[in-house]
Structure 1
Amino acid sequence: MEKIWESIYRPSYITGYNPFIIKNMNKAIERLVKAINQREKIVIYSGCDVDGLCGLASLLLVLKYLNADVEYYIGDEKNNSHSLETETLRNHIHFLGAELLITSGCGLESKEQEILCGSLGIDLIVTENKKVKSDLKSIYINPSQEGCSYRYKNLSASGVTFKLMQAIAIYYNMKSINRYLDLILLGTISSDAESKGENSIFIKEGINFLNNTNNYGLRAIMEFYNIDEFNCDSIRKIINVITPAIGAVDKKDNARIVVELLTTNDISRARQITKYLYNEKIR
């Protein structure tokens, strides 16, 4: 008999867990597909927390798989992933040549930032999850926003990002989107989101995919720390490893190193980064 999550997480599944039930998801995919197909510059933005970084890394992998022109930027430690700052938009995102900016678990500081993006020629897809009545004219993905009928309101930042990834997978008929649930598992647990509803499936299936992961960064961590079974302690250990520390470099730079670890296709580089992160932790 087929397991329930095997049917739920087919990209073609279009009932209760359908990402297109989330308000504005159709608009998000229309804009994102245009950017991918026309090779516009896409920039993904996140703060330094593990939840945001796992969402960023998984979306980055999907967009690179689709041959998108994509880069990322990580905000300062003080930002704590909750909002995108004007200085960052003007001096960094614009500098990267962004034509489409996607946030992973981050909102805007003010309406003025949306106006600034418009003046800089940057379209916005904002993903976050908090109870709010949005007045943004940009594309806003938030299961908890007013007027959104999506049933599962307790998703983490990486969980909301995964809903965007599912919608991408449906459009492009990608069959392997669930492979990224290993990262979504880590983001969800690190956020201390309730382990019920859709989160319970992220966790259950995420452990299955983590056990057989083809992510070189996660493999390097498991190898270095001799992790061969997954329980609360071992999963928290992995989360601790990828939590950016303030060491020889600042937290933001270590966050970039974590993203490199989670997205590299070079096992030797993954092992090197894992050893570096270990040394940063024991300083």
Structure 2
Amino acid sequence: MVKDVSYEYDKKKVCKKVKKHYKKYDPFLLKGMEVALKRIITAVNAREKIVIYGYYDVDSITSIAILLLVLRYLNADVEYYIPNDENIERTLRSKDILNHIEFLGTDLIISLGCGMNSHKEIELCKELGIDVVVLDTEKTSVDRLDAYVINPNQDSCSYPFKGLSFVGLTFKLVQALSRYYKLKSFNKYVDLVMIGTTASEVDLSDENGIFFTEGIYQVNHTNNYGLKALMKINDLKQISEDNVNQLIECIIPRVNPIGKMDNAKIVVELLTTTDLLRAEQIAKYLHKEANKE
């Protein structure tokens, strides 16, 4: 059954972009969540090598950052991979699997928004002994993947809200992990969820509205060193619905002269570092890059 939790906002915190009343849903209403979670838990507990595979836009970068932070907290053996070629399709790539991911000794790939059309690549992973969890929101009629799929838009998924961004869907996985491991502070990542959700330009209704409004509040009380450093160097003393896009613009990866998305990995480091000095160094670099003539 749907976990029907009414959510009433304090009037002082309500943003004009969203309504005042929404529902939160149980992450286990997502088809495939339970079996995917079991596979991830096995990998975490056995210290199997996990590689998070994502894309270089802000929605995907924040997804990677949140999952990386949570899995590191759980002492998982985890790394991430972002292809750095501009304008690639949102799929797993055989050359990445063979040249990088297999080399790491990977046991499990968690693909964030890159797997629904990757039949051949997932078959390659199976041949190499690598399991794949696919988180995606794409509406597709492709045949069933030989993978653990979490997608609110797949056939016979009863999840009530179909409009989640990639980072919103990733946060639902984090909620499920938090329930199993009894983590009480996972909601602190809603600032990153808000940034990715806003950048993705999905409709800010239903759960997206919760993420937006809670995230606006959380980002102004954040303990994320990267966000603090970005706000400081860009003189953003208070984030609101009116200036949140200024914060997002600070972390949009930029293309270098040879068409590579170098900044994507730097932004992931910024959002996941536990070193305040390093966060300030990266924020200064990104600020300088963004203000080049």
Q: TM-score, normalised by structure 1?
A: 0.92
User: Does 1:32 find its partner at 2:40?
Assistant: yes
Partner residue, 1:221: 230
Letter in 2 for 1:130: E
1:2-151 aligned at under 5 Å gives the runs 4=7, 17-78=25-86, 80=88, 82-133=90-141, 134-151=143-160
TM-superposed CA distance for 1:231, in Å, is 2.2
Return the match for 1:246 from 230, 239, 255: 255
Q: Pick which of 146-155 and 239-248 moved more.
A: 239-248
**Alignment length (residue pairs):** 274
Paired residues of 1:126 and 1:141 also in contact (CA < 8 A): yes
Q: Deviations over 1:189-222 (max 9, x none)?
A: 0000000011000001111111100000000001
Paired residues of 1:215 and 1:262 also in contact (CA < 8 A): yes
Bigger helix fraction: 1
TM-superposed CA distance for 1:16, in Å, is 5.7
Q: Distance in 2 between matches of 1:76 and 1:60?
A: 19
Paired residues of 2:220 and 2:238 also in contact (CA < 8 A): yes
Q: Distance in 2 between matches of 1:5 and 1:81?
A: 40
Q: Pick which of 243-252 and 206-215 moved more.
A: 243-252
TM-superposed CA distance for 1:94, in Å, is 1.1
Q: Distance in 1 between matches of 2:118 and 2:82?
A: 19
For structure 2, the 5+ residue unaligned runs are 10-22
SS state at 2:281 partner: helix
Letter in 1 for 2:244: I
SS state at 1:95 partner: helix
Partner residue, 2:175: 166
Paired residues of 1:48 and 1:251 also in contact (CA < 8 A): no
TM-superposed CA distance for 1:187, in Å, is 0.3
Structure 1 residues 250 and 136: CA distance shift in structure 2, 3 A: same
SS state at 1:252 partner: coil
Q: Distance in 1 between matches of 2:225 and 2:260?
A: 22
Partner residue, 1:12: none
Q: Distance in 2 between matches of 1:197 and 1:147?
A: 20
Partner residue, 2:18: none
Q: Pick which of 144-153 and 90-99 moved more.
A: 90-99
Q: Distance in 2 between matches of 1:156 and 1:217?
A: 22
TM-superposed CA distance for 1:234, in Å, is 2.3
Return the match for 2:239 from 230, 242, 253: 230
Q: Deviations over 1:68-113 (max 9, x none)?
A: 0000000233455621111111111111221000011222543211
TM-superposed CA distance for 1:161, in Å, is 0.7
Q: Distance in 2 between matches of 1:25 and 1:46?
A: 19
SS state at 1:4 partner: strand
Q: Distance in 1 between matches of 2:6 and 2:228?
A: 26
The alignment's C-alpha RMSD in Å is 1.9
Letter in 2 for 1:275: K
Paired residues of 2:116 and 2:145 also in contact (CA < 8 A): no
